[in-house]
Amino acid sequence: MSRTTGALEHRRFFPARRRTRDALTSSGRSKRTARPGGLSVRLSRAAKMGSLLLVIALALVATTFVDRSSQISLLKAFLILFLSVVPGWLYLQFIEIRGQGLYDEYVLNLYRMKIDAIENLPKPPPGSVYWDEWNEKVSKDHKVGRNIYLKKFQSVYGDSAIAQSRRRRSSDSNLPAQAGGRISQQIKVDAFFPVIMLTMLLCVGWSAVLVPEAFAQIRIFTGALTGLPETPVDPLRFAFIGSYAFMVQQFIRRYFQSDLKTHAYISAMGHLILAGAVIVALHPILASFGVSAEWELAIAWAIGFFPDFGLKLLWKSVVGKLGSRNEEGDDRYSLKVLDGINFWNRARLLEEGIEDMQNLSTANLVELMLNTRVPINRVIDWVDQSFLYLRVTRDSDREDLRRIGIRTATDLMDAFEGDTDPAFRRALLWVLNPGGKADGRPSATAGLRRALEGEVNLWHVRQWKRRSWLRSAEEAV
């Protein structure tokens, strides 16, 4: 046998060694080609560190060699620039990390709630408890990348948030996500214009609040001003500060919850405009009530933070003046009575058009889970509570149910099923009836149970709370 023939036979019977050697060779080439990228990263880090040191040096020079009035002017200029840019900077930081690792969690939650038939759901992560069933039911030529739920996620977090393997029919789960691309390409996907608009508005607002001395010396119009309409300048400034405090808190919370999107900046602009309009309308009313200037500033700040407070104050003032007794009934079924929900959660749900329990119980669960980024267990619990609150309206009845361990709609339905004690079940039938016993009328809890069985969203909630995926894992172990 010749040397060439022996080499061919060796490659034929030991292909793995050849592949290993080729892989090592290619990895070596990739490492050699990756060196310039590593150098650019190091240079970028050095430039950032140099910029930081330059800012520190300028601050030290300004505080050491500049007179007091100039220091104040520089401080005001710095605050205007810094406070105006912070919200936009948060968004730029967010779009670099958004969506990574969220897609698989989103898909698994769709399966756990049984939102749709298996064939209509996105490809689950290979190795999950849902993979075998999906792989069996979905045809080999199925276009995974065209799935409607995948498209929903992509519209919110962009192309780079979904790994290429999740767009293919095969079981390979190790293909990485697409490169995010240049920052300008990612900005175009999310329509960066609202962020720019808010930054401009904040720059104008902070300039009006801090009034840099350099601006105070500039006169563009030399003619006399009419002074009309009379503008409450100081209350508007304090309302702006309150609005800014609210929006920064909201942006930071949403940043850490991977929920910072451009429509949050549109909402912030609406918040600012509404607060200013309410202050202008309330200013003469507060003056007529004899409210001092100091108290008006405090009220203005509160209205900037809570514009709804200003609207209610304005409404009550107008209704009281006209002598009308018609009050708004918008507090019925308010979200604030739900367990675990606070002001920030209500403000976030309001952006999704959810104002009360009825809106929450009938919301699109997929969009609610995708858009709000509130932990899914918490959202499910809120929806579950809402179904019970909408039908059990008296506080005393809800307290009676809580005393026997029933806090949500699924708690009530589960109490009638499974291995529940027959004596407990019989007592449960009459717990909401007058006197807690049979009085010739139908059982209130039995009627409540029948009504709840027809709710579509509650069915999905029950599927989640049955934790079938956990039981499957336990059986596999």
The partner residues of 125 in beta bridges, in order of sequence, read: none
Which backbone phi and psi does 177 adopt, to 5 degrees? Answer: -70, 160
Q: How far is the CA of 139 from the CAs of 9, 119, 120, 170, 418, in angstroms? A: 40, 9, 12, 11, 37
Residue 467 has a pLDDT of 76
Around Cβ 100, how many Cβ atoms within 10 Å? 15
- H-only helix segments in 114-192: 131-137, 148-157, 183-189
- Describe the chain by its helix, strand, coil percentages, rounded to 5: 70, 0, 30
Distance separating alpha carbons of residues 18 and 95, to the nearest angstrom:
42
Residue 231 has a pLDDT of 83
Report mean pLDDT in 10-residue bins for the chain, 477 residues: 44 42 42 48 70 75 73 84 92 72 86 90 88 88 87 80 82 50 50 87 93 67 66 93 95 88 90 94 90 93 93 85 60 87 90 92 90 88 94 90 91 82 82 76 88 91 81 51
Residue 216 has a pLDDT of 61
Distance of CA 10 to the CA centre of its chain: 59
Q: How far is the CA of 369 from the CAs of 1, 301, 363, 366, 386, in angstroms? A: 68, 33, 10, 5, 16
Nearest to 462 by CA among 401, 416, 394, 402: 416
Distance of CA 355 to the CA centre of its chain: 16
- For the four alpha carbons of 82, 85, 91 and 94, in that order, the dihedral sign comes to negative
On the 0-12 / 13-18 / 19+ scale of CB atoms within 10 A, 357 is: buried
Residues 247, 271 contacting (CB under 8 angstroms): yes
Helix 193-210 vs helix 233-256: angle between axes, to the nearest 10 degrees?
A: 140
How does DSSP classify residue 397?
Answer: H
Residues 373, 105 contacting (CB under 8 angstroms): no
DSSP assignment of 59-114, as one string?
Answer: HHHHHHHS-HHHHHHHHHHHHHHHHHHHHHHHHHHHHTTTTTTHHHHHHHHHHHHT
Nearest to 123 by CA among 86, 164, 158, 159: 164
Residue 378 has a pLDDT of 92
Around Cβ 96, how many Cβ atoms within 10 Å? 11
Tokens of 246: 């609210």
By three-state DSSP, how is residue 352 classified?
A: coil
Around Cβ 218, how many Cβ atoms within 10 Å? 6
Around Cβ 303, how many Cβ atoms within 10 Å? 26
Distance separating alpha carbons of residues 134 and 60, to the nearest angstrom:
63
The count of residues in the chain is: 477
pLDDT in tens, 164-203: 888 888 766 444 444 444 555 555 544 678 899 999 999 9
On the 0-12 / 13-18 / 19+ scale of CB atoms within 10 A, 392 is: buried
On the 0-12 / 13-18 / 19+ scale of CB atoms within 10 A, 323 is: exposed
Distance separating alpha carbons of residues 400 and 384, to the nearest angstrom:
18
Residues with Cβ within 8 Å of 475's Cβ and at least 6 positions away in sequence, in order, are none
Around Cβ 139, how many Cβ atoms within 10 Å? 8
Tokens of 285: 């009313």
Residues 69, 212 contacting (CB under 8 angstroms): no
Tokens of 440: 């010739």
Give the H/E segment covering residue 308. Answer: helix 307-322
